[in-house]
Structure 1
Amino acid sequence: MLDLGRTFLQSVERSPRQVAIVDGGLRLSYLEWAGRIGAVQRGLADAGLARGDHLLVVLQNRWEMATLHWACQFAGIVMTPLNWRAKPEEIDYCLADAEAKAIVWEPVEDAAVAASSAASRALRIGVGEVHGATLHFEDWMTAPDEPVPHAEASDWSLMLYTSGTTGRPKGVPRRQRAERIAALAHVAQNRYAVGECTLGVMPLYHTMGVRSLLSLALIDGRIVCIPRFDAARALAAIRDEQVTHLYLVPTLYHDLLSHPDFAATDVRSVRKLGFAGAPMHDALLQRLQAAFEPELFVNHYGSSEIYTFSINQRAAENPGCAGRAGLNTRLRVVKLDQRDPERLAAPMEEGQIIAELRSDEAFEGYHKRPDADAKSLHRGWYFTGDTGYVDPEGDLFVTGRVDDMIISGGENISPVDIESVLSLHPAVDEVAVAGLHDERWGQKVVAFVKASRPVDAQALDAHCRDSDLVNFKRPRDYVFLREIPKSPVGKVLRRKLQSGEYEPALPELPSIPPA
């Protein structure tokens, strides 16, 4: 099987003059980019990094980040990216956990790196005007070089860190063969054609960003870097670069549609939409379908551990449906209280979603975390921590996280169905639902709403009553916020809602009495 370095060389050999990457005024063909990748590979080797070493990289979605990623694939160095907003203690932890030989960073992360004690002991490679760098990325650019594959498909490609919202971040190491197969499946499942163009918006410390990077190289395509998401800049790039497909989290789609420039921007070049990372509520699905009229609208459900769980290629036609298992995957839904992969939930019964670890896209266990392996890996299956059910036709519906399950009056309540109903109210811009402590019920259902125009709790409760939402799932309180707290990749942070870490938009309105 081809390793990733040789995979990149395929595109260089097939389409040497095709534009491969755009970053502001920089435009590089595959041949030109290969010369820079080779120069970085040479620089890393001269700095003492060898096959199997970890390189910690804290950069935004810029061409240097993408170039380092590919140089590591050629060299067999384990790309280990971090959120460019990482705090000093996160840098300390990940440098030690990965035993990384070096760290690469840019000015936006200067203060955090300076305050990291572990970074002071590592080889320090700076991009741009940073302080305290041992080496400078720009010095490697004085002469291009031919990249040479030194890795095999069985070598480690990268190690992604999970967000760590419930504890220490977990390293998810992945081999080159799993990365390549995941990218091939992504091309097939999203029906990408040769020479397509996409926005490099999803961060390269996230599995979605990495998949876009690798997939575009497989089809001799073009990736347009957006270092830090800005809706106006993204819309301009769609227009100017004739972007053909988008692969984003729902939050970024929301921001694109909500920007004042959207109505005046020609987005007709975009023929395919894909989303992942979080559920997309019904109202946003409808708005996107109307705005883009795409040929293909894909709901991709997966994770860092196993890239693809399921695919629904008709997302707008069946809101909330995650479809069926991907090309390289087997899925099951087991009873919520089970660790036995054979104890299946009945059709329409909510349970935990699990995926077989024999998947060609799967990881092989967490990095130095036997506790995490013991929690999530059972008898050859990965227990995702997601809840869902399979309908009588065999389609999967994801309802939330096991940890997000609201238990109110003895009933198990998932937030997603409630959020989808509320999203259809014309005054609701965004909504998130969480369970808050209640003396009588154990937990009560609370809806946190970002409104697009004036609305009160009574109006939203009436909307829920008029829907098919069962009575016990109706929110008992509504809290109106300026913004819904989210992670850097757009996931709702329910723990912040539960702990009161948000800015109210209005004084709290009275509770809605149960019927």
Structure 2
Amino acid sequence: PTMFHDIVHHPNRSSYDLSPTVNIGYAGMAMTSALTAQCAEEFKPRHFINFYGSSEIFCFAVCDHVAAKPGCAGRAGVGQILRVVQPDPDGNSGPHDIVADGEPGEIIAPMDGMEAFAGYWKRPDADAKSIRDGWYFTGDLGYFDEDGELYVIGRVDDMVISGGENIYPEEVEDVLAKSPNVEQVAVIGMPDDRMGSRIVAFVEPASPQCSAETLDAWCLDSTLARFKRPRAYVFVKQIPRSAAGKLLRRFLRDGDYDLNTDFESTL
């Protein structure tokens, strides 16, 4: 998704013809619905595909109609079985703790699949955390919709519990990413004496009008539940990402970022 973002936002985008590109696909991380819409408009692909998988299992699920269902990971791949179970960062949930359709949980897959690994090399601690009763616990949060298709909404470790409520950062990011005042955004939980954790949004501004007030009003006008709104905004020069373009939330938690002092942060 990071490469697609850079393509559609390239300053010389209008100088390039994207029409020879017939099919497009992505993997590695979620794509916001705003970027999905931009890619569909710019590329007008015949097939727009999301491949969801991991190094340990390879392919979990495939969706070939992302434009119609932004964020959808589709159905289990060939020879694959997927379940969504109670999320537990401490590793106490099992493969039979299945949640209802529409309810978020941890995505798991069986270890006897033809593409599954045998375990981590000399990492019994990682095996104990991720492999239980013959199933691989991905650490990814997701849910099945009414059509039986999978959505991936974040990581178990990134889930924020604020005032006793579970809040998923990617849900908040998806709303803020649609604002014309936002170039890129990342959401994390920060310690809070009253609520346990509070939602904080780190934003690369896209316009001079970007502010904590305008973004809070944007959230209030959206379908996002009021309690999931960010309680603080930090405006940065660049969201930290890996060489592969993956968001590095731990850098934000550790304060490893450069403030954009042209905008007033509220943290």
Distance 2:222 2:264 in 1: 24
Equivalent runs, 1:15-26 vs 2, <5 Å: none
Corresponding residue of 1:510:
266
Secondary structure of the equivalent of 2:171? helix
- Could you say which residue in structure 2 is the equivalent of 1:382? 136
Q: Answer yes or no: is 1:345 the counterpart of 2:99.
A: yes
Deviations 1:304-337 (A, max 9, x none): 1111111111111111211111113110001113
Partner of 1:297: 48
For residues 114-153 of structure 1, the aligned pairs below 5 Å read none
Q: What is the CA deviation profile of residues 385-412 of structure 1, one whole-angstrom value per residue up to 9, with x for unaligned ones? A: 1111112221111111111011111111
Deviations 1:141-169 (A, max 9, x none): xxxxxxxxxxxxxxxxxxxxxxxxxxxxx
TM-score (normalised: structure 1):
0.50
1:461 equivalent to 2:216? Answer yes
Residue in structure 1 matching 2:149, options 378, 390, 395: 395
**What do the CA deviations read for 1:82-132 (whole angstroms, capped 9, x no partner)?**
xxxxxxxxxxxxxxxxxxxxxxxxxxxxxxxxxxxxxxxxxxxxxxxxxxx
2:171 is the alignment partner of 1:420: no
Superposition pairs for residues 346-495 of structure 1, below 5 Å?
346-454=100-208, 455-495=210-250
Please tell me the residue identity of whatever aligns with 1:354. Answer: I
Any stretches of 5+ residues in structure 1 without a counterpart?
1-249
> Which blocks of at least 5 consecutive residues in structure 2 are unaligned?
none
AA aligned to 1:324 is R
**2:234/2:266 contact within 8 Å kept:** no
Which of these residues, 51, 57, 68, is aligned with residue 317 of structure 1? 68
Which residue of structure 1 lines up, in the alignment, with residue 252 of structure 2? Answer: 497
Of Structure 1 and Structure 2, which has the larger fraction of its residues in helix? 1
Cα separation, 2, equivalents of 1:490 and 1:480: 20
User: TM-score scaled by structure 2?
Assistant: 0.95
How many Å apart are 1:261 and its aligned residue? 2.7
Counterpart of 1:406, as a letter, is: V
Which whole-Å CA distance do the structure 2 matches of 1:320 and 1:457 have between them? 26
Instruction: Give the corresponding residue for 2:8.
Output: 257
For residues 311 and 353 of structure 1, the distance between their equivalents in structure 2, rounded to whole angstroms, comes to 14
Counterparts of 2:111 and 2:13, CA distance in 1:
42
Partner Cα separation in structure 1 for residue 221 and residue 21 of structure 2: 36
Q: Which amino acid aligns with 1:444?
A: R
Give the Å deviation of 1:475. 0.6
Q: d(CA) in 1 for partners of 2:240 and 2:154?
A: 17
How many residues align? The count is 262
Larger radius of gyration: 1
CA distance in 1, matches of 2:115, 2:207: 44
Two-structure CA RMSD over aligned residues (Å)? 1.2
Determine which structure has the larger strand proportion and give its number. Answer: 2
Output one character per residue of 1:30-54: Cα deviation in whole Å (capped at 9) or x when no partner: xxxxxxxxxxxxxxxxxxxxxxxxx
